[in-house]
Structure 1
Amino acid sequence: MYLDITIKARCYNPAKVESILLEHGAQYVGLDVQTDTYYEADYGKLKHRQGNIENVLIHYNRKSGGGTKQTEVLLYLKHPGAETINQICGSQKVLAQVKKLRKIFFIGNVKFHIDYLEELGHFVEIEAIDLDGSLGLDMLNQQCHYYKELLQIEEDDLVTSAYTDLIQHS
């Protein structure tokens, strides 16, 4: 089962975060211009992400705790066709849309995002990913906390709310 642990924080110096990542061997994937459309779902969240790098349809449930979020992924389709999107989302109410610029980096199984949202500013996300259950929650948590320290993320800068919630309250 696909599982990930995520830390999200406000980012006041995105150039410094990018520099630290590159100094530690991060692979820069590119700049993605993303629009996330959230649909009504009986359980968790249903999201269609459209970007020039990432195009996915994902149904997931996220639990927060101690500055991290654990995500259980129920459906993950890369590059879904219009027919598939219509079948799954066509009758669902659109709840929100989030537009962002996202720089994407990887170090092994850990994905990093440096996001910019016009309404909110810059954020950094650390996403430790276990695609097949071989790493386990303890390892994912250790990785997130290691990179949190490396990137000098302060506790006060941690964000547990989704971008949709932050935008609604801004």
Structure 2
Amino acid sequence: MPVNFEFKARSNNNTELEQILQSFQPRFVGEDTQTDTYFNVPNGRMKLREGNIENALIHYHRNNIAGAKQSDVLLYQHQPSKALKKILINAIGIKTIVLKRRRIWFVDNVKFHFDHVDGLGDFIEVEAIDADGSRSIQQLQEQCSFYASIFQIAPECFVAESYSDLLLAVKSKE
């Protein structure tokens, strides 16, 4: 099972952060418009990602702590299918839907997301990914710490919750 070590932080300067990233000669994957449909599951989180670049059914476990944290991920990449979404909706129901624009970059095994999330604002996510068991948790953690330092992420900007949790909190106050 792939292991990620990742952080999410609020941002008010994604353009500047992307410029800083350029000094590492990143590979640009593209800009994706994504709909993440979160489902009611008894443990962890499960979402169906529908985008023009990424399409996947994702189940993951991650503690809600601010800063970098481990995320255990099961990922099923698929061709877009309305039938899959309908099956999931009928079987387990929708928890919430997150809409976002995401600019995706890679430096080696580290994936960078520069996100604008409808109803929440702008964020940066950094995921150090061990897809094949060749990197230790400590190495992944060090990669996240390195980029948090490079981007000068202030401690109060780190976000503990998923976008789905943040959006549900906003909706509960309306």
Q: What is the TM-score of this pair, normalised by structure 1? A: 0.92
Give the share of equivalent positions with the same residue, in percent. 41
Matched residue SS, 2:143: helix
Q: Supply the RMSD in Å over aligned alpha carbons.
A: 1.7
Q: Deviations over 1:115-161 (max 9, x none)?
A: 00231111000000000111010010000000000111111110011
Residue pair 1:33, 1:101 contacting (<8 A) in 2 also: yes
Residue pair 1:97, 1:164 contacting (<8 A) in 2 also: yes
Counterpart position of 1:55: 55
Within a 5 Å distance, the mapping from 1:14-163 to structure 2 comes to 14-65=14-65, 67-79=67-79, 81-87=81-87, 90-163=90-163
Deviation of 1:88 (Å): 5.2
> In the alignment, residue 125 of structure 1 is paired with which amino acid?
E
* Partners of 1:144 and 1:85 in 2: CA distance: 33
Per the alignment, do residues 61 and 89 of structure 1 end up closer, same or farther by CA in structure 2, a change over 3 Å counting? farther
Q: Deviations over 1:69-105 (max 9, x none)?
A: 2111234334364455555554111100000000000
Structure 1 alignment gaps of length 5 or more:
none
* Partners of 2:121 and 2:84 in 1: CA distance: 33
* Partners of 2:34 and 2:80 in 1: CA distance: 15
Residue pair 1:57, 1:85 contacting (<8 A) in 2 also: no
* Partners of 1:127 and 1:74 in 2: CA distance: 15
> In the alignment, residue 11 of structure 1 is paired with which amino acid?
S
Q: What is the TM-score of this pair, normalised by structure 2? A: 0.90
Structure 2 alignment gaps of length 5 or more:
none
Residue pair 1:57, 1:80 contacting (<8 A) in 2 also: no
Tell me whether 99-108 or 78-87 shows the greater mean CA deviation.
78-87
Residue pair 2:50, 2:80 contacting (<8 A) in 1 also: no
Q: Which runs of 4+ in 1 moved over 2 A?
A: 63-66, 74-90
